[in-house]
Amino acid sequence: HNRLRMIVAMFLTKDLFIDWRRGERYFMRRLVDGDLAANNGGWQWSASTGTDAAPYFRIFNPTSQSRKCDPDGAFIRRFVPELQSLSDTSIHEPWTLPADVRATLDYPSPIVDHAEARERILTAFKALT
């Protein structure tokens, strides 16, 4: 689904601050429906580069996108079996569960704080203008 691709692309480029071309290459190698123009354009749009890019300040929040696109957690349950037992609410933010519950999950903590990453990328983009 294109929405999921955009969420991944924005997370990689704007939360992790990784060059969009690395994600673009990975998708082209791994996705069975890879299309050069759509893939390249989608990554440039998500990274706020290229000719028809999203405004640099458009930054998807991965958690709110997860809730919006998969409110009952069906996609997560299918592809992240470690979280299958969580409620429809908790499945989107397992790191907010009490420590004793988190300890029973074979699932890592977030690698980046979205709010901090958002501020960092906004500062970087503003420095370019």
Please give the model's pTM, rounded to 2 decimal places.
0.89
Kindly state the tokens that stand for 8: 């991944």
pLDDT more than 70, % of the chain: 100
Q: What pLDDT digit, counting tens, does each position of 18-36 carry? A: 999 999 999 999 999 889 9
pLDDT above 80: residue 1: no
Instruction: Write down the CATH number for the domain with range 1-63+96-129.
Output: 1.10.579.10
pLDDT above 80: residue 129: no
Kindly state the tokens that stand for 43: 């990554």
> How far is 29 from 6, CA to CA, in rounded Å?
17
> How far is 44 from 48, CA to CA, in rounded Å?
6
Rounded to the nearest 10 degrees, what angle do helices 2-10 and 62-69 cross at? 170
pLDDT score at 2:
86
